Amino acid sequence: MKFLFIICCALLWVANTSYAQQGKPASLNASAINAKLKDAVLQYKYMMKHLPGDSFPRSFYPSTGKYFFSNAEWWCSGFYPGSLLLLYEETGDKKLLAEAHRILPMLQSQQFNKGTHDLGFMMYCSFGNAFRLEKNNSYKTIIINSAASLKTRFNEKIGCLRSWNNSNPNDFLVIIDNMMNLELLCEATRMTGDSSYYKVAVTHANTTMANHYRNDYSSWHVINYDPATGNVKQKKTAQGAADSSAWARGQSWGLYGFTMMYRETKDIRYLDQAVHIADYLLSHPQLPADKIPYWDYDAPGIPNALRDASAASIMASALLELQAYHTDARYLPVAKQILQVLSSEKYHAKAGANGGFILEHSVGSLPAKSEVDVPLTYADYYYIEALARLKKMQP
Ligand code: GLY
């Protein structure tokens, strides 16, 4: 009887311990990072089996078990090949490289697409990584052509690249997300020696710094400029909770964008801007204790508002780069915490679940009721990038 009691207690202890381990995010040392990267490879191998030959993955609806695919023109088309290439780089798994080689040609046509500002996301996350890893000159040509297409959207008077096309010729809409496309332009100057790409990137960043940010270093989502005068006409939102709110992914794009522009230019003003943005976000009273932002820092219904895993993974990756430029080690622990939470069962899909996407619980556009609380390709891309960055920072 006593023996049976001891066995029961031991079983209970084991069950409790493993429950606690599941609930509490595990610490991400080098071997844990490698394990997460291997999980990610398995997920993407699962996803590639379910991908129709002519499509790019966009999302997956766990409630119905249905995929949402896109064509090459969708702003996220570069993230799938980009994730495959990052995972190939980290694990050496050739199946991922082969899948990237299969899908990259389907994206090539976009190098001549002058109708979008998203060419940085589309062509640099994909062909940029491909060129970095393989040094294939045809990729270089695609990157340069893409940058040339993006540059056509620059307006000298305003000092910005146009984001969205709209039918009113008196509007010129620029969104904070556009900071992310400047890396492509900087790369094109490096590749060609033509400084005009770099100058456009710097001018766009300067105009954004002047007009997109509030005194507290939160950012508006959309600035509408008057193309005749270059003046600001409106400061508003499209994907946020309100014109005056801090839409979470927009804050992450800005943080990442100014950190990246410091890397590209070594202009200390961009580093200062990134530090101010980071400090605003990390001291925000509505940033939850686990550091995964609500979809908007001013979302109605907090603490019951939805979180956005994509805003978290972009922020983690940006903070890891920012830490490398900053002597005070305050960003690394937060980035690590974010990645640990994203790697826990609260956000990280179980093997073979979530359509093969790695992370659950992102928000595309809540006001448009589009892609709400679903997996998204860019949440995965920046999660993988951040894991790889953290791995390189391990002692
Ligand atoms: N660039 C669009 C988004 O972040 O939703």
Give the pLDDT confidence score for residue 11 in this predicted structure: 44
Beta bridge partners of 296: 247
| Rounded-to-integer distance, Cα 150 and Cα 354, Å | 34
User: By C-alpha distance, which of 164, 235, 253, 157 is closest to 203?
Assistant: 157
CA of 177 to the centre of ligand 1 (A): 6
Instruction: Say how many CA atoms lie within 13 Å of 123 toward its Cβ.
Output: 33
Helix 309-324 with 377-392: angle, nearest 10 deg: 30
| Rounded-to-integer distance, Cα 142 and Cα 56, Å | 19
CA of 260 to the centre of ligand 1 (A): 18
CA of 117 to the centre of ligand 1 (A): 11
Architecture category of domain 26-392 in CATH? Alpha/alpha barrel (1.50)
DSSP 3-state of 56: strand
For the chain, 395 residues long, give each residue's pLDDT as a single digit of tens: 555 545 544 444 443 333 334 446 778 999 999 999 999 999 999 999 999 999 999 999 988 999 999 999 999 999 999 999 999 999 999 999 999 999 999 999 999 999 999 999 999 999 999 999 999 999 999 999 999 999 999 999 999 999 999 889 999 999 999 999 999 999 999 999 999 999 999 999 999 999 999 999 999 999 999 999 999 999 999 999 999 999 999 999 999 999 999 999 999 999 999 999 999 999 999 999 999 999 999 999 999 999 999 999 999 999 999 999 998 889 999 999 999 999 999 999 999 999 999 999 999 999 999 999 999 999 999 999 999 999 999 87
| Rounded-to-integer distance, Cα 315 and Cα 251, Å | 8
Beta bridge partners of 247: 296
| Rounded-to-integer distance, Cα 211 and Cα 223, Å | 8
Positions annotated as catalytic residues are 118, 177
> Which of 74, 122, 178, 249 for a ligand 1 pocket mutation test, highest count of atoms within 8 Å of Cβ?
249
Is residue 177 within 6 Å of ligand 1 at its C-beta? yes
Shortest-distance Cα residue to atom 1 of ligand 1: 177
Give the pLDDT confidence score for residue 13 in this predicted structure: 43
Q: Is the dihedral of CA 364, 366, 369, 372 positive or negative?
A: positive
Is residue 249 within 6 Å of ligand 1 at its C-beta? yes
> Which of 239, 314, 315, 363 for a ligand 1 pocket mutation test, highest count of atoms within 8 Å of Cβ?
239
Give the pLDDT confidence score for residue 16 in this predicted structure: 37
**Cβ-Cβ contacts under 8 Å for 372 (sequence gap 6 or more):** 306, 363, 364, 365, 366
In terms of phi and psi (left: phi > 0; alpha: psi -120 to 50; beta: otherwise), the region of 112 is alpha
Cβ(186)–Cβ(201) below 8 Å: yes
| Rounded-to-integer distance, Cα 123 and Cα 130, Å | 10
Beta bridge partners of 236: 222
Is residue 371 within 6 Å of ligand 1 at its C-beta? no
Give the pLDDT confidence score for residue 2 in this predicted structure: 55
User: By C-alpha distance, which of 16, 129, 137, 131 is closest to 79?
Assistant: 129
| Rounded-to-integer distance, Cα 390 and Cα 129, Å | 18
**Cβ-Cβ contacts under 8 Å for 311 (sequence gap 6 or more):** 248, 249, 251, 252, 293, 295
**Element (DSSP H or E) covering residue 363:** strand 362-365
